[in-house]
Chain A
């Protein structure tokens, strides 16, 4: 579908410098990732802890015809997060604007071009003072930061993620041994989930959050290897600098990418409803909330 921009308005904008400035504006953005040398990938978990987390991840988000947490690299994602304070600055926030996965638009036609920007997501963003304090509380606990526990006991002191994971993973193996297994990995997947459900609440919440993140994050964070989960679950991922609608500078029209329509049904996506189990869940939830089923 094409949206017609009235030519008079377009020419007015172009005449004011908008069009002339647009292409160089974008072209310059790709140069921001040329920082100093690479940082090594760091690790916090030891081999036994990684094995336990891997066994847990395989049970919570298993592999089938779509990628699971282990195949996506979610364990690496968690390990990098836990080690993120070990470098010269916290490796928590990555740069932008582009990843290099999508091309520049052709400046003559607006359609996908053949040039790709650099991957700015490999850069580490320098956090602000308060962002760094927040990161230290998150990873190391509130007592590790001056004034981090200033509101105790009204606000209880917070354990850091490192301590939560270290204790939680050890606890999983201990609970597995109580069930007669050597460790968590020796249990079948339903038993691993039962052990997980009996573990510490803070640990459970951290794991569930981080497995979701490690499954579906931008690959530069360590998970979602090569964008596999985005493809398997039919999600576009980052689309800049091409985006989803294209602007033809010659005619002043906006039009959809042929491979990813924005303004209309995309026949390449799943358009035939929910799987039966999911549909039953949704129906019960919707009706329980006073909603309606229309067909």
Chain B
């Protein structure tokens, strides 16, 4: 019998605050960690979050908080839009190129969840660092036709202290030295690795037989009790789900920020426009719709965008109706959109792999990340070892995608070829930045609030297509070495016309030259005096590794520089 709950409050933190040193748009991976830096250094911060709050007690210092209402519940998380709205409410449009006309598709396009904590809440928290060469891809590759590779305005060594600090603040488990291709580290991981899944053992053994170098995947999930959170107990509902016991580090920095007493978080508040002063160089207000859909605004001395590469670009475009977009004198705003080009190699095994037990991914290898300029080792990406854990999605696969009915359907449900017996390797291939891959506003479509929606123009570059073709047969053979009965590479893009990677990068390229980049080396917009961006949009290139730890390390550094430009590393880990 159903019961009515108590409402979770919309406003968290110090509800009495009404003057702010900074307004942050987005409470996800970048916004949360930036808020922690600013708040622990005494700045008053307002965070606007478009999504609801599912973390009762997030701002309560009492032990045991927060007490999230996430669950091992496929209906809630995957079927009925607990984290993402129905595409009819806030659709996006898509086209492969301008030749397709205004659009070729309307619906979901690589959407990130809308929730306090952002997409990091439902991630399985894979947290590798980028390689040293990822910061100098233009120098490594030279001119690649059709692509816009750039060197970053900082190198790995400059970011390394912030990687280390982020790993401590979020809580990352890992094993030093296990990945021979990993970038150098200044210290150990904060936590040892947790329990590997059965499929990790199988695929790791297969990889070793082929001379590859599998390792426990670094992940921002507790392997031991730490920071007031329990050890992960491998419930199995990890990727795509919030953690019921809060073992993930998704909102650890955000909670710390709230506990300073210097932060007010307003959930279900959708930013709609940045208002500038007469000079056009200062943002004086962030306009938004409140939880009831009523117009409201908030002001602060500084504004930090952390809404994702697509939504932050959308907000800048909405802020300059009919114009090029706020902060877009370079013409680069919205361009160089990257998603990662995933290659999925699927193996079917005779034995049950029980993918509903474990962290979704607990091992992988980075041999296929490749070496710049080496034709024998093209630039692919890190490979994850995973399985399938969603039973309803599996049944729909049989009923809808393969058309099974009646007794035949029951054979599939009992045998579970695409469930219990499936292992999936995912290569996170680097997709080359291209100026033609971009976000702009659809000229016709609106969301239910009447706001223009993002239009994504995207097609893969020959570089990632070639890398995928190169490594796909090797992934199939790896399944064979691991004992699979069958293996194949999944057709590209499962239903959506764009990759559904939840890695949304580019659109606000970071660089020293205001003519070719949107934000500077400390992520302040070249064109504005008080506007920063602290999400994945600032990455000049996407690497072939999961990007969240890197975007967080960058956000940490940017926020630290706001507090103390001369020594940002000294202010980013202040205790609450």
Q: Interface residues, chain A, CB within 8 Å of chain B?
A: 1, 3, 5-6, 9-10, 13-14, 16-22, 24-29, 32-33, 35-41, 59-62, 64, 66, 68, 88-89, 91-99, 105, 120-131, 133-135, 137-138, 142, 145-148, 150-151, 154-155, 158, 189-190, 193, 205, 208-209, 211-213, 215-218, 220-221, 230, 233-247, 249, 252, 254, 256, 260-266, 269-275, 277-279, 281-283, 285-286, 289-295
Contact = CB atoms under 8 A, between A and B. Distances in A.
A151 B87 CA distance: 12
Contact of A16 (B226, B412, B444, B445): B226
A289 to B, nearest CB: 5
Contact of A131 (B74, B81, B407): B81
Residue with the greatest number of chain A CB neighbours at <10 A, chosen from B2, B224, B348, B416: B2
A259 to B, nearest CB: 11
Counting from the closest, the 8 A-B pairs by CB-CB distance are A291-B488, A243-B233, A96-B71, A18-B225, A238-B72, A97-B244, A25-B64, A134-B86
B365 to A, nearest CB: 19
B73 A263 contact: no
A123 B392 contact: no
Given A122-B2, A269-B354, A261 B406 contact: no
A263 B204 CA distance: 13
Given A122-B3, A125-B69, A129-B268, A211 B399 contact: yes
A124 B69 contact: no
A130 B71 contact: no
Given A97-B67, A213-B79, A262-B195, A125 B348 contact: no
B223 interface: yes
Contact of B3 (A19, A37, A92, A96): A37
Nearest to B484: A294
A247 B395 CA distance: 33
Residue with the greatest number of chain A CB neighbours at <10 A, chosen from B52, B230, B358, B444: B230
Contacts of A265: 198, 351-352
Q: B-side binding surface: helix, strand, loop or mixed? A: loop
B89 A133 contact: yes
B224 A5 contact: yes
Contacts, number: 410
> Could you say which interface size class chain B belongs to?
35 or more
Contacts of B490: 289
A61 to B, nearest CB: 6
B226 A292 contact: no
Given A151-B445, A291-B489, 4 more contacts: A28-B64, A134-B88, A254-B194, A271-B351
A62 B407 contact: yes
Residue with the greatest number of chain B CB neighbours at <10 A, chosen from A18, A97, A135, A137: A97
Given A256-B195, A290-B488, A240 B80 contact: no
Nearest to A146: B448
Contacts of A213: 75, 79, 392
B213 interface: no
Interface string B283-306: 000000001110000000000000
Contacts of B261: none
A244 B69 contact: no
Contacts of B411: 275, 277-278
Contacts of B455: none
B350 A244 contact: no
A156 to B, nearest CB: 10
A61 B489 contact: no
